[in-house]
Amino acid sequence: MFLKICDYTQTELDYLQVVCNFTDEENTLFLLRSKDIPLEECAERMNISVPTVKRISQRVKKKIEREL
């Protein structure tokens, strides 16, 4: 079972940021999702479409899964 990003501890979040080699967009989304901000609001804040933020989210999840 995959945890939501906001369920990770701060230490785990810091570790993932270092080892996952996120792009700038991925890192921005990762930080927003770590605060449990919905994807729709993330898209608005990042000034991109919801489908685009969903694609970025999938890339973030894949990178996290590889590191865990």
The secondary structure of residue 5, as a DSSP letter, is G
Percentage with pLDDT > 90 across the chain: 87
pLDDT band, very low/low/confident/very high, at 27 (cuts 50, 70, 90)? very high
Closest CA to 12 of 36, 30, 25, 39: 30
Mean pLDDT of 30-45: 95
User: Could you give the domains of the chain?
Assistant: 23-67 (1.10.10)
Report the predicted TM-score, pTM, of the whole model to 2 decimal places: 0.90
d(Cα 50, Cα 44) in Å, to the nearest integer? 8
pLDDT digits (tens, 9 = 90+) for 42-68: 999 999 999 999 999 999 999 999 987
